[in-house]
Structure 1
Amino acid sequence: MTDRCAWCGSNPLYVAYHDTEWGVPEYDPRALWEKLVLDGFQAGLSWITILRKRGAFRAEFDGFDPESVAGWDAARIDRALQNPGIIRHRGKIESAVRGARAFLDIEAQEGFAPFLWSFVGGKPVQNRWASMAEVPVATPESTAMSKALKKRGFNFCGPVIAYAFMQATGMVNDHVTTCPRHAALSPPQAGG
């Protein structure tokens, strides 16, 4: 695929992520929670670091089963801190546990996916950026999502992380217009 978004470069792991996952609308609540947790772990690091460790994260976090992670106690958190395959940051691990509990609350009350997708009106925002320089790092929608998530008990979800999450989960189509994935993830235009 030529003319990919420049951010993915030529690293095969990044290219595969760009071509098959990034920007694809995600509605599965568990998958959305996993991505939100991983975006929180990415804070201060590069996304390629998280991609390289994603398998270890999935193993350590019980397949990103929120019910299981919500039940973690101090000993279980300490065990995770011993895993060299993940980012060993106590605050981020504790945040994932709090986030699992918050996920269960939101899922029971209104559904986690509808809650998150409400910040973009329930369907992907179709941006038309000519270059990555035009793509914002945060928007009013990501700021609103961040505030709402924090109010519900999440951390490591500031407006920039929330926007990266929105991009990754297809809430916004931020593939540049020259990237073939932009058209692939855009709805057909009426009138041909």
Structure 2
Amino acid sequence: MKSPDADVLARCPWAGIDDPLYARYHDEEWGVPHADDQRLFEKLLLEGFQAGLSWITILRKRESFRRAFHDFDPARIARYTERDIARLMADEGIVRNRLKVLAAIDNAKAYLVLRKRQSLASFLWHHAGGKPAINAYAKVGEVPASTDVSVRLSKALKKEGFRFVGPTTLYAFMQSTGMVNDHLTGCPRHKACAKLQRAFVPPTA
């Protein structure tokens, strides 16, 4: 029987072996497909805040982000005023970037408009190809930073009024939410996520 240490050593290198938070994110969340609007909206905003930074920085601040942004409630964020912006800019627990804060508010407003027509999940999955893509990369260097699909999804979101949703940001979002499986083939999570992705039925409305 393979020892637990073997799985740790085979884990995708970016997750490391000595940071429990990053390891748990890799082992339990990254690459798992879902269609939960609230979770997708949260991840979309967090990926926007991550632009130019490392994901572990955002991951360590995620609970602070949730508190500061009222659990990423789009309706509440869309009503934020200058007082809220000032509050956020003074919050050391999050990334204090005014452009990103303003983008988060605009994205909440865009989400509410989109939601009148269809769910965010159905919109994202449709423009991401309609089903998860199961890749087979053996080395980190083989994994792209963006793809034609992430470019298309980026353009679609920008057309809806979303900001900080460039192709590279969107591809990281797709990896995280299981729209693509970019666990390396030697990583135990590749097979596990592939099984989940093959059984996943993307929403259509």
| Partner of residue 102 from structure 2, selected from 94, 98, 106 | 94
Correspondence for 1:4: 11
Q: 1:41 is paired with a residue of what secondary structure?
A: helix
1:81 aligns with 2:61: no
- Cα deviation, residue 119, structure 1: 2.2
Moved runs in structure 1, 4+ residues, more than 6 A?
none
Q: 2:194 is paired with a residue of what secondary structure?
A: coil
- The count of aligned residue pairs is 189
In structure 1, C-alpha distance between the alignment counterparts of 2:161 and 2:129, rounded to whole Å: 23
- Cα deviation, residue 73, structure 1: 1.3
- Cα deviation, residue 109, structure 1: 0.8
| Partner of residue 169 from structure 2, selected from 161, 184, 188 | 161
The TM-score normalised by the length of structure 1 is: 0.95
- Give yes or no for contact 2:127–2:156 (8 Å, CA) kept in 1: no
The letter of the residue matching 2:12 is C
1:36 aligns with 2:35: no
Residues 81-106 of structure 1: CA distance to partner in whole angstroms, max 9, x if unpaired? Answer: 11110001110000000000111111
| Partner of residue 115 from structure 2, selected from 87, 94, 107 | 107
Identity, in percent, stands at 52
Structure 2: 5+ residue runs without aligned partners? 1-6, 199-205
Correspondence for 2:191: 183
Q: Kindly report the root-mean-square deviation, in angstroms, between the aligned alpha carbons of the 2 structures.
A: 1.2
1:144 aligns with 2:152: yes
Correspondence for 1:58: 66
In structure 2, C-alpha distance between the alignment counterparts of 1:119 and 1:141, rounded to whole Å: 8
- Give yes or no for contact 2:129–2:149 (8 Å, CA) kept in 1: no
The TM-score normalised by the length of structure 2 is: 0.89
Correspondence for 2:201: none
- Cα deviation, residue 145, structure 1: 0.7
In structure 2, C-alpha distance between the alignment counterparts of 1:29 and 1:167, rounded to whole Å: 17
